[in-house]
Amino acid sequence: MYIQHLIGDIQNSIALRSLDRNPVTFSCNKKSLKSAESIYRVSLASLAYSLIRYETFDLFLRLIGQFERIAEQAVRTPMSTAELMEIIAFLSKSKTQTIPDLEKRLVQAKDELLFLLDNTELPPADLRLNTNMFSWIERMPAAFEEHATIAKEKTEQFKEALTVKLIYLILNK
């Protein structure tokens, strides 16, 4: 349905532009006309598939970027308590809001990919991109576990440092 709508828009756009520039009338036999119409439809379909492929893979790259950003934050080692709290807040929001939203968008991406696979031939680079995109949702639990380990270690380090500072302040009063 979407592809037919897109092809119709392209056809109307091309027809209107060509009529605006120079209205032309021509005559040809029915066989030539059918051949020209067939080539025209194939060209439009090819253009439409290219546009859909471009938009779909742009979506894939954006999804991968969002997963990468979350994973980078998850494994980042904080240098201060404030930074630790920022990371914890970011990842908490990511777990409860961003990841579920990304999962929904992955379902949409899967549907678009299935459409493309049914109607076009994808190059190997595109197939690798798909594999990369769909593997991120499986890698996220490990990133969150690593974050929990880092956060626990750093929390203990920051508590110890705070305790040492407190003892120093008490003893030097």
C-alpha pair distances (Å), 171 with each of 159, 163, 165: 18, 12, 10
Domain parsing of the chain, residue ranges: 55-171
The CATH number of the domain covering residues in 55-171: 1.20.58
Which amino acid is residue 145, in one-letter code?
A: E
- Local structure of residue 77 (DSSP, 8 states): P
One digit per residue, the tens of pLDDT, for the chain of length 173 reads: 444 554 555 555 544 444 444 544 445 555 555 555 556 555 666 777 777 778 888 888 999 999 999 999 999 999 999 999 999 999 999 999 999 999 999 998 888 888 888 877 888 888 888 889 999 999 999 999 999 999 999 999 999 999 998 898 888 87
Report the C-alpha gap between 19 and 44 in whole angstroms: 18
**Tokens describing residue 48:** 């439409």
- Local structure of residue 122 (DSSP, 8 states): -
Report the C-alpha gap between 18 and 12 in whole angstroms: 10
Q: What is the pLDDT of residues 8-32, one digit of tens each?
A: 555 555 444 444 445 444 455 555 5
